[in-house]
C-alpha cells in the first residue's frame, strides 16, 4: 500500500513538473550552462533547445553571461547558431559589451563575479512553431578563453 502511494506521488510530481514546464514554454525560457573552471574552449558549443508554441506572441530575446572580474577583455564575441524547426540555419556574430570605455564593469556584481544581460531582440516574433536549436560558440580567437563562467539564453514573453 505504501509503495502504491509512493508511485502515485511520483506520478503526480511528474505531471505537475510537466505542467510547469509547459507553462514556462508559453511565457518564456531561461537557462544557463556552467563552463567548467571558467575556461571556454573554442570547440565547446553550448546548446539550448527551445520549444515554441506561440507564433503570435512577442518576446524579448537575449544572452545572459557571468564572468570573473579578472576577465582580461571589455567585451565578448560569440557566434549564435540557430536551427529552426524547418531545418533552416542562421549564424550571427554578437558582441557582448562587459565594460565601459573607462574600464568600469557593466551588469551586476557579487564578489569577483559579474552578471550581464545582453538584449539581442526586444520584439522577437517566432515565425514557426516547433523546436529551435541554439548553439553559442565563443569567438574570441583564443583556444581556451578564461574568465567566462556561465552562458545562457533568455526568452521573455512581452505584455
Tens digit of pLDDT for each residue in 84-136? 999 999 999 999 999 999 989 999 987 899 999 999 999 999 999 999 999 99
Q: What is the DSSP letter of 99?
A: B
Of the candidates 52, 61, 49, 48, the residue with the CA atom closest to the CA atom of residue 26? 52
In the chain, the number of structural domains is 1
**Domain containing residue 146:** 30-157
In a domain, 19, yes or no: no
CA 90 to chain CA mean position, Å: 17
Would you state the pLDDT for residue 26? 55
Of the candidates 60, 46, 31, the residue with the CA atom closest to the CA atom of residue 120? 60
In a domain, 53, yes or no: yes
In a domain, 153, yes or no: yes
Would you state the pLDDT for residue 27? 74
In a domain, 146, yes or no: yes
The pLDDT of residue 6 is above 80: no
Phi and psi dihedrals of 64, rounded to 5?
-120, 140
CA 114 to chain CA mean position, Å: 16
In a domain, 83, yes or no: yes
pLDDT interval class at 20 (50, 70, 90): very low
CATH number at residue 144: 2.60.120
Neighbours of 62 (CB within 10 A): 19
Amino acid at each position: 500500500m505504501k509503495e502504491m502511494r509512493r508511485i502515485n506521488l511520483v506520478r503526480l510530481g511528474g505531471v505537475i513538473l510537466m505542467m510547469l514546464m509547459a507553462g514556462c514554454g508559453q511565457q518564456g525560457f531561461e537557462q544557463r550552462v556552467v563552463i567548467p573552471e571558467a575556461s571556454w574552449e573554442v570547440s565547446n558549443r553550448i546548446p539550448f533547445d527551445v520549444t515554441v508554441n506561440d507564433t503570435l506572441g512577442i518576446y524579448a530575446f537575449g544572452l545572459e553571461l557571468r564572468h570573473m572580474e579578472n576577465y582580461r577583455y571589455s567585451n565578448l564575441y560569440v557566434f549564435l547558431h540557430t536551427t529552426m524547426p524547418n531545418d533552416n540555419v542562421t549564424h550571427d556574430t554578437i558582441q557582448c559589451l562587459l565594460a565601459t570605455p573607462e574600464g568600469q564593469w557593466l551588469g551586476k556584481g557579487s564578489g569577483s563575479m559579474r552578471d550581464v544581460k545582453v538584449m539581442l531582440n526586444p520584439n522577437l516574433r517566432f515565425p514557426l512553431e516547433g523546436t529551435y536549436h541554439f548553439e553559442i560558440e565563443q569567438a574570441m580567437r583564443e583556444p581556451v578563453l578564461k574568465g567566462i563562467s556561465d552562458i545562457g539564453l533568455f526568452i521573455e514573453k512581452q505584455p
